[in-house]
Chain A
Amino acid sequence: MSAPRPLLFHLGASHHTAPLALREKLALPPARAEALHARLASARLPEFALLNTCNRVEFYGVAGSEEDLSALASAFCEVTGLSASDFSAIRAHTTGAGAIRHLTAVAAGLESQLLGENEIFGQVKDAYAAAQSSGRVGPVLNRVFQKAFQTAKHIRTHTAISTGQVSVANVAVELALTIFGDLQSTRVLLLGAGDIGEKTAKAFQSRGACSLTVANRTPERAFALAQTLDATALPFEHFTHHLGDYDIVVGSTAAPDLIVHAADAAAALGRRRSQPILFLDLALPRDIDPAIAELPNSYLYNLDDLAGIAEQNLAARTAEVSRARALIAEKADAVWQQVVDRHGR
Chain B
Amino acid sequence: MPPLIDRTWLWLAAACYLLGAGLGLVALLRERRHSRAAMYIILAAGYTFQTFGLYLRGVAVHGCPLGNKFELIQFTAWSAATLYLVIGPAFRLSLLGFGTALLTAVLSLGALLVPSWDAVVRTHIFGGNTWIEFHAALALFSYGVFGLLALVGCLYLVRDYGLRIKRIGGSFAFLPAIRDLDQIGLRLLGAGVILLALSLAVGSVWWLREPATVNLPKLLTTLAVFAAYALAWILRLRGQLSGRRWAQACALLFIAALLSIAPVNSSRHAPPATGMVKGTAR
User: Which positions in A face B, CB cutoff 8 Å?
Assistant: 160, 163-164, 174-175, 177-181, 272-276, 293, 296-297, 299, 301, 305, 308-309, 312-313, 316
| Interface 9-mer from B142-150, B175-183, B195-203, B273-281 | B175-183
Residues of A within 8 A of B173 (CB): 163-164
Interface residues of B: mostly helix, strand, loop or mixed?
A: helix
Contact B179 A276 (CB under 8 A): yes
**Residue among B172, B177, B182 making CB contact with A177, cutoff 8 Å:** B177
Contact B245 A309 (CB under 8 A): no
Q: Compute how far the CA of A96 lies from the CA of B238 in the bound complex, rounded to whole angstroms.
A: 69
Contact B245 A274 (CB under 8 A): no
Q: Compute how far the CA of A133 lies from the CA of B166 in the bound complex, rounded to whole angstroms.
A: 48
Contact A180 B242 (CB under 8 A): no
Given A177-B177, A178-B178, A179-B163, list of 20 further CB < 8 A pairs? Answer: A160-B31, A163-B169, A164-B169, A178-B159, A178-B175, A180-B179, A272-B239, A273-B242, A274-B239, A274-B242, A276-B179, A296-B243, A297-B242, A305-B166, A309-B167, A309-B168, A312-B169, A313-B169, A316-B169, A316-B170
Contact with A along B208-246 (1 / 0, CB 8 A): 000000000000000000000000000010110011111
Residues of B within 8 A of A276 (CB): 178-179, 243
Q: State the Cβ distance, A327 to closest chain B Cβ, in Å.
A: 16
Q: State the Cβ distance, A76 to closest chain B Cβ, in Å.
A: 42
Contact A274 B168 (CB under 8 A): no
Residues of A within 8 A of B244 (CB): 296
Residues of A within 8 A of B175 (CB): 178
Given A178-B159, A178-B177, A179-B178, are A273 and B166 neighbors across the interface (CB < 8 Å)? Answer: no
Contact B163 A299 (CB under 8 A): yes
Q: Compute how far the CA of A311 lies from the CA of B36 in the bound complex, rounded to whole angstroms.
A: 30
Q: State the Cβ distance, B187 to closest chain A Cβ, in Å.
A: 14
Residues of B within 8 A of A160 (CB): 31
Q: Compute how far the CA of A275 lies from the CA of B177 in the bound complex, rounded to whole angstroms.
A: 13
Residues of A within 8 A of B168 (CB): 174-175, 178, 309
Contact B180 A274 (CB under 8 A): no
Looking across the interface, which residue of chain A has its beta carbon closest to that of B31? A160
Q: Compute how far the CA of A180 lies from the CA of B182 in the bound complex, rounded to whole angstroms.
A: 10
The 10 A-B residue pairs with the shortest CB-CB distance in the complex, in nearest-first order: A273-B239, A274-B242, A181-B177, A181-B180, A297-B243, A296-B243, A179-B178, A305-B166, A180-B179, A274-B239
Looking across the interface, which residue of chain A has its beta carbon closest to that of B183? A181
Q: Compute how far the CA of A305 lies from the CA of B169 in the bound complex, rounded to whole angstroms.
A: 13
Given A164-B173, A179-B178, A181-B179, are A274 and B166 neighbors across the interface (CB < 8 Å)? Answer: no
Of the A-B pairs whose beta carbons lie under 8 Å apart in the complex, a sample of 23, sorted by A's number, is A163-B173, A164-B169, A164-B173, A178-B175, A178-B178, A179-B163, A179-B178, A180-B177, A180-B178, A181-B176, A272-B239, A276-B178, A276-B179, A276-B243, A296-B242, A297-B243, A299-B164, A305-B166, A309-B166, A309-B167, A312-B169, A312-B170, A316-B170
Looking across the interface, which residue of chain A has its beta carbon closest to that of B175? A178
Residues of B within 8 A of A174 (CB): 168
Q: State the Cβ distance, B229 to closest chain A Cβ, in Å.
A: 17
Contact A274 B177 (CB under 8 A): no
Q: State the Cβ distance, B44 to closest chain A Cβ, in Å.
A: 26
Q: Compute how far the CA of A212 lies from the CA of B237 in the bound complex, rounded to whole angstroms.
A: 28
Residues of A within 8 A of B169 (CB): 163-164, 309, 312-313, 316
Q: State the Cβ distance, A126 to closest chain B Cβ, in Å.
A: 30
Q: Compute how far the CA of A296 lies from the CA of B248 in the bound complex, rounded to whole angstroms.
A: 13
Interface size class of chain B, counting residues whose CB lies under 8 Å from the partner chain: 20 to 34
Q: Compute how far the CA of A164 lies from the CA of B31 in the bound complex, rounded to whole angstroms.
A: 12
User: Which of B162, B164, B172, B239 has its CB near the most chain A CB atoms (within 10 A)?
Assistant: B239
Q: Compute how far the CA of A82 lies from the CA of B167 in the bound complex, rounded to whole angstroms.
A: 48
Contact B178 A274 (CB under 8 A): no
Q: Compute how far the CA of A192 lies from the CA of B177 in the bound complex, rounded to whole angstroms.
A: 28
Residues of B within 8 A of A293 (CB): 164
User: Which of A160, A174, A175, A178 has its CB near the most chain B CB atoms (within 10 A)?
Assistant: A178
Contact B163 A274 (CB under 8 A): no
Q: Compute how far the CA of A272 lies from the CA of B159 in the bound complex, rounded to whole angstroms.
A: 20
Contact B246 A274 (CB under 8 A): yes
**Residue among B163, B170, B182, B245 making CB contact with A178, cutoff 8 Å:** B163
Residues of B within 8 A of A274 (CB): 182, 236, 239, 242-243, 246
Q: Compute how far the CA of A275 lies from the CA of B239 in the bound complex, rounded to whole angstroms.
A: 9
Q: State the Cβ distance, B160 to closest chain A Cβ, in Å.
A: 9
Q: State the Cβ distance, A292 to closest chain B Cβ, in Å.
A: 12
Residues of B within 8 A of A164 (CB): 169, 173
Looking across the interface, which residue of chain B has its beta carbon closest to that of A180? B179
Q: Compute how far the CA of A272 lies from the CA of B31 in the bound complex, rounded to whole angstroms.
A: 34
Looking across the interface, which residue of chain B has its beta carbon closest to that of A179? B178
Residues of A within 8 A of B246 (CB): 274
Q: State the Cβ distance, A286 to closest chain B Cβ, in Å.
A: 16
Q: Compute how far the CA of A295 lies from the CA of B175 in the bound complex, rounded to whole angstroms.
A: 22
Looking across the interface, which residue of chain B has its beta carbon closest to that of A302? B166
Q: Compute how far the CA of A277 lies from the CA of B85 in the bound complex, rounded to whole angstroms.
A: 33
Q: State the Cβ distance, A277 to closest chain B Cβ, in Å.
A: 11
Q: Compute how far the CA of A174 lies from the CA of B168 in the bound complex, rounded to whole angstroms.
A: 9
Q: Compute how far the CA of A301 lies from the CA of B167 in the bound complex, rounded to whole angstroms.
A: 11
Contact A179 B242 (CB under 8 A): no
Q: Compute how far the CA of A305 lies from the CA of B162 in the bound complex, rounded to whole angstroms.
A: 13
Looking across the interface, which residue of chain A has its beta carbon closest to that of B176? A181
Q: State the Cβ distance, A157 to closest chain B Cβ, in Å.
A: 11
Q: Compute how far the CA of A308 lies from the CA of B167 in the bound complex, rounded to whole angstroms.
A: 9
Contact A308 B166 (CB under 8 A): yes
Q: State the Cβ distance, A172 to closest chain B Cβ, in Å.
A: 11
Q: Compute how far the CA of A317 lies from the CA of B125 in the bound complex, rounded to whole angstroms.
A: 60
Residues of A within 8 A of B162 (CB): 178
Residues of A within 8 A of B163 (CB): 175, 178-179, 299
Residues of A within 8 A of B170 (CB): 312, 316
